[in-house]
Amino acid sequence: MMHKNHLREYLNFRVIVSYAILFSVVVLSVYCYKVISLTTGVALSCVEYVFVAVLSYLVFKECFPLRKVIGLALIVIGVLLYSLGYAGAVP
Q: What is the pLDDT of residue 89?
A: 53
Range of the domain at 9: 1-35
CA-CA distance, 57 to 88, in Å (whole number)?
33
Q: What is the pLDDT of residue 32?
A: 85
Q: What is the pLDDT of residue 87?
A: 59
Verify that 13 and 46 share a domain, yes or no.
no
Verify that 2 and 24 share a domain, yes or no.
yes
Q: What is the pLDDT of residue 34?
A: 87
Asked whether the predicted pLDDT for residue 2 surpasses 80, the reply is no
Q: What is the pLDDT of residue 3?
A: 67
Verify that 54 and 13 share a domain, yes or no.
no
Verify that 49 and 91 share a domain, yes or no.
yes
Verify that 31 and 43 share a domain, yes or no.
no
Q: What is the DSSP letter of 86?
A: -
Verify that 11 and 44 share a domain, yes or no.
no
Residue among 77, 10, 2, 13 at smallest CA distance from 43: 77
CA-CA distance, 71 to 60, in Å (whole number)?
20
Verify that 47 and 88 share a domain, yes or no.
yes
